[in-house]
Amino acid sequence: MSTETLSVGTGAIGDADIFAARQEFSGGLPDWFTTMQREHWTRFLESPDPTRLDETWRFSDLRPLSKIAGFVPTPFEKPDADDLIARSNTVKNPAGQLVFVDDNLAAARVMDAELEKKGVIFTTLFDALNNHGDLVREYFMKETPQLGSEKYEALHVALVRSGVFLYVPDGVEVDRPFVVYNWTQQEKGAVFPHTLFVSGKHSKSTLVEFQRAASTETEHLVISNAHVFSGDGSETNHRIIQDWNTKTLSFQLNTNNADRDTNAKSIIVNVGSSQARQEVHGKIFGSGSNVEMYSVNVPRKDQQFDQRTLQTHLAPHSRSDLLFKNALLDKSRTIFSGLIIVEEGAQQTDAYQTNNNLMLSGDAESNALPGLEIKANDVKCSHGATTGRIDESNLFYFLARGITRSKAHELIVFGFLEEVIEKFGDEALEDYVRGRLAEKSLA
């Protein structure tokens, strides 16, 4: 470990003075931000723990939540992680790249100089707070998922100290992706990665986040937030590949906010975590927009993936499409709870919500709670959840061609997931995801 380790910030979340101790190191940050952190710390302390009576926690396993107090926010130090930096190379030739280890910037920021000249900002959240404070203030926690994890969101805001700010100015189109790697390393460490992605009018950009652990053996708490603001006429592509180790309790609390005529697309792949809570709220503020929220989930062993989604249509003539595909192995569990809300006046809305579960084991369990709440009278909405096993006649077709049973299973499962994977629209990344799923979940 580095010798630059500081003596504070090593208490656990449950320690009375942890917040004050960490605030000593927020010197130089804007007052509005530190005030907000203080308020959220209070909110965290005062919010009750979720119970299974809460609709937003129905079917959830709440036991792991009691362990949160024992995790230790990682110290402020420059990480010693040359190997992790070297392994942060999945996307070749990115437009920009940031590598964090335990919430500390680990490698020098990579950024295309041409884009910098055009006004693109791609930097750490703290750098952005210091140098683009007003811009960050306009968007930071402006929208929240409101899907049940408010207490943990408050903890995130109180203790956040790391993250990414991507700002693409009006009219700037960037084809190559911006890439973020977040690594966990310290045993019992708690991290709070934050992503704020703001796209200007008629801009186009892609942000890819890789979430990984240095070791398979360490325990971690991760409470991530990601908020995308797609300006009028812009195209945003946001991808998260959640690949924490299987001793991680993770939260991914996201909003996708669309103005007029946007094409806002997000994909989340869940591979890792012991328990992964995923909240996604698509908010359509403008008309003529297309908002896509897709997710691929392959839980195995005792993994539990808890998915809560909301599509809120506030403006007419927009479309949203949500597709969550889960392939469950072993004793894994998924909970999908999705709601479409079409507000009064949001006429001519097209909203779709689909959850497909492929059960690969008799011991796996999937729960689906799809819902609609429509206050406009001229809309097209559909929601549906399916749960099924591998079709025997399909399996026989593979076998009759000489393909082994295990290879047939693999191809059928990948075929099932392909509907989402092919939406990456980036062959190298698609191949990476397929390979990672094969290696980690289906091997």
Give the interface with other proteins as residue ranges (CB under 8 A): 391, 393-394, 396-405, 407-408, 411-412, 414-419
Smaller CB distance to other proteins: residue 109 or 397?
A: 397
Instruction: Select from 97, 121, 100, 101 the least CA-distant residue to 109.
Output: 97
Smaller CB distance to other proteins: residue 391 or 439?
A: 391
- Nearest approach in angstroms of CB 418 to other proteins is 3
| Cβ-contact 302, 268 below 8 angstroms | no
- Nearest approach in angstroms of CB 325 to other proteins is 10
Single-letter code of the amino acid located at 298: V
> Using CA atoms, how far apart are residues 412 and 395, in angstroms rounded to an integer?
8
- Nearest approach in angstroms of CB 365 to other proteins is 23
- Nearest approach in angstroms of CB 421 to other proteins is 9
Q: State the DSSP string of 352-419.
A: EEEEEEEE-STT-EEEEEEEEEE--SS-EEEEEEEEE---HHHHHHHHTTT--HHHHHHHHHHHHHHH
Query: Pairing state of beta strands 110-111 and 96-101?
Result: antiparallel
Q: Which residues pair with 191 in a beta bridge?
A: 222
SS3 at position 202:
coil
Smaller CB distance to other proteins: residue 315 or 327?
A: 327
Smaller CB distance to other proteins: residue 190 or 433?
A: 433
- Nearest approach in angstroms of CB 355 to other proteins is 16
> Using CA atoms, how far apart are residues 157 and 141, in angstroms rounded to an integer?
8
- Nearest approach in angstroms of CB 229 to other proteins is 33
Smaller CB distance to other proteins: residue 361 or 394?
A: 394
Smaller CB distance to other proteins: residue 52 or 407?
A: 407
- Nearest approach in angstroms of CB 385 to other proteins is 17
SS3 at position 196:
strand
Smaller CB distance to other proteins: residue 4 or 391?
A: 391
**Among the residues of 196-302, which ranges form H helices?**
none
Residue 132 CB neighbours (<10 A): 15
Task: Show the tokens assigned to 406.
Answer: 């295990």
